[in-house]
Structure 1
Amino acid sequence: MNCWKKLAAFGVLFGMLLTKPACAGPIAYLGPAGSWTHQACLDLFGDKDLVPRSREELFSDFHDGKVEKACVPVTTSVVGVTPYLDAVLDLPSVTIVAEYPKMLGYSLLVRPGTRREDIKEVLAHPVAFEEVKPWLDREMPNVRRVEAASGGAAAQAVARSQTLDKASFGPKVGALVYPLVSLVDGIEQGPHNVTRWWVLGRAMPAPTGNDKTSLLVNASDDTLDGVLASFHQAGVQILTIYERPSKKTLDTHRYLIEVAGHAAQGKLAAFVQTRSDIRVLGSYPRK
């Protein structure tokens, strides 16, 4: 399939291909269909058992057990954390079972018959606008930019338009979901434009020997140094740290700390077992 051929090309960058896991229930993605998260789920799971959800529905349905898994974009190479990361951290119970980094190349989607010079308005997710900004500033600097809830919502709005003066930025799959065509493909495609998704599930995968663990730590300005020192003392390798607001006070924060290893093995297992202040969000194969 085309998506797997593309993933093979990305193998040099990401190290290895993903293997499609078996699915035992509905898998929610940020809808409507035609979004980048829809494309990520097609890559990972095929088209079976996928259900589109709004942002609120996705997290409430996962919390209530109405869906078995949920796929959420959490970080990008262009803007850092996405607007969805905090919602994952807010869940009282969550297990990250996989990560999926994907190099993005946007398509400019229009209704059939639309010419590039006809376009007066483009629709896209706010993160998408940041990712296509160099191309858009250079190629279509005078068009009006309208934010949409997702790439799927942008494509859907263009498809429903009664005029031929609108376009959307998103994955090319939008032209298969809606009666649209692509005028330009591969916009801002490259290693500088990568998004990483988390797959939220119910059971932590077994260790593979090349794993990553995501941890949530609450710390104040005065205690952060000690928290980080404890990782070093335990021999746990920190890979990335993302600061998020605590939503309580200015000098307290939530830190997403991602480390090498599996929470059920070795030094990391011994470390987290002694730290009630550190919440394990999930261990999964490192991509």
Structure 2
Amino acid sequence: MPEPESAPALRQYSYLGPAGTFTEAALAQVPEARGQRWKSVHNVGEALADVVEGSSHAAMIAIENSVDGGVSTAQDALATIPGLRIIGEYLVPVDFVLVARPGVRLEDVKLVSAHPVAYAQCLQWLSRSLPEHAHIPAASNVASALGILEGTSDADAAISPPGILDHHELDLLAEKIGDNDNAVTRFVLVGRTVAPPPATGADKTSLIVELPDDHPGALLEMLEQFATRGINLSLLASRPIGDSLGRYRFVIDADGHIQDERMADALMGLRRFSPKVIFLGSYPRADRSIVRYSERYADDVFVEARDWLRGLLSGEPGV
């Protein structure tokens, strides 16, 4: 009698934990990650190392926040760790709650534990509701709550993501305490180097580009590679390379896919211009918004121009 087939091995996904973080909420949006093994890690470097080593299929990391801008640790890691590709992006609304051990009342709160970024995003609410409070910095949004729960923090309350209430016995003192109702964090799912998925028409291409040298107009020359091909940039951020003062790399998100003729032409232009171009991936936009562009930048226009040049070189009559 034949032996029953064994179940396929579960894939592992790394994310910045512990449970209840915004990163976990982003990973929950990935259909192929549901029902698989999720590994909580301590930092971005650990998450990406899991991917490079092959122990994790992919890692979810925060890359950009609508209030605070780019996440420098993630951008620098992607610039310096080879063999990685962004395979998807996900948006998570950023909201915060104030939690405490059972029995603590809002009027009892004098010390508030919070990650510095979260604290800054809730400062207006805190100033109105707890004008005499003091801040105790925490290592993460979840660590702030665990500290008061485990007794390792002197704080009376903690600022945390709403998901913390699904995992721990805490009292909710206040919700929606963030100062910006439209705050959103953009996360990317990062895997090992693979061929880009087919274009969908609603895509984004991420790159890291270094300038060849420091001269007047160098940045403009780089940007012209996109502007002259009708490509819009949704992100342009500079990060120091670190080898000397005044040397920067640029983190770029461009609307479109590497399979688009205009994007492929721009990438070749960048390759000729820059000493180092890191292609991070072409992938569907989180909002699934179709990329619009002028007809003069349509794929068939680039193809016709290339065919025209070939005709000139081959001496075709009438060209």
- The two structures have a TM-score, normalised by structure 2, of 0.76
After superposition, give the CA deviation of every residue in 1:66-87 in whole Å (9 maximum; x if it has no partner). Answer: 2111111111121112243322
Quickly say closer, same or farther: Cα 1:284–1:270, change in 2 above 3 A: same
Structure 2: distance between partners of 1:225 and 1:24: 47
1:1-287 aligned at under 5 Å gives the runs 25-44=11-30, 45-46=33-34, 48-55=36-43, 56-85=45-74, 86-161=76-151, 166-188=156-178, 191-202=181-192, 203=194, 204-219=196-211, 220-222=213-215, 223-276=218-271, 277=274, 278-286=277-285, 287=287
**5+ residue gaps, structure 1:** 1-22
> How high is the sequence identity, in percent, across the aligned residues?
31
Structure 2: distance between partners of 1:155 and 1:132: 16
Structure 2: distance between partners of 1:271 and 1:174: 44
Quickly say closer, same or farther: Cα 1:255–1:120, change in 2 above 3 A: same
| More strand as a share of residues | 1
RMSD of the TM alignment (CA)?
Answer: 2.3
After superposition, give the CA deviation of every residue in 1:127-173 in whole Å (9 maximum; x if it has no partner). Answer: 21121122122222322212222212222212102789522212221
Q: What is the CA distance between 1:228 and its match in structure 2?
A: 1.1
Quickly say closer, same or farther: Cα 1:47–1:260, change in 2 above 3 A: same
Q: What is the CA distance between 1:227 and its match in structure 2?
A: 1.1
**8 A contact 1:103–1:190 mirrored in 2:** no
Larger radius of gyration: 2
2:308 match: none
Structure 1: distance between partners of 2:154 and 2:233: 51
After superposition, give the CA deviation of every residue in 1:186-231 in whole Å (9 maximum; x if it has no partner). Answer: 2227553111111112333321111011111011442222111122
**8 A contact 1:79–1:130 mirrored in 2:** no
**8 A contact 2:116–2:138 mirrored in 1:** yes
Give, as a single letter, the amino acid of the residue that structure 1 aligns with 2:199: P
Structure 2: distance between partners of 1:48 and 1:183: 34
**8 A contact 2:208–2:280 mirrored in 1:** yes
Give, as a single letter, the amino acid of the residue that structure 2 aligns with 1:64: E
**Residue correspondences, number:** 265
Q: Secondary structure at the match of 1:108?
A: strand
| Greater relative contact order, per chain length (Cα 8 Å cut-off, separation 6+) | 1
Quickly say closer, same or farther: Cα 1:191–1:282, change in 2 above 3 A: farther
Q: Secondary structure at the match of 1:272?
A: helix
**8 A contact 1:69–1:199 mirrored in 2:** yes
Give, as a single letter, the amino acid of the residue that structure 1 aligns with 2:245: L
1:17 match: none
Give, as a single letter, the amino acid of the residue that structure 2 aligns with 1:138: R
Structure 1 stretch 182-191 or stretch 172-181: which is displaced more? 182-191
Quickly say closer, same or farther: Cα 1:163–1:116, change in 2 above 3 A: farther
- The two structures have a TM-score, normalised by structure 1, of 0.84
Q: What is the CA distance between 1:51 and its match in structure 2?
A: 1.2
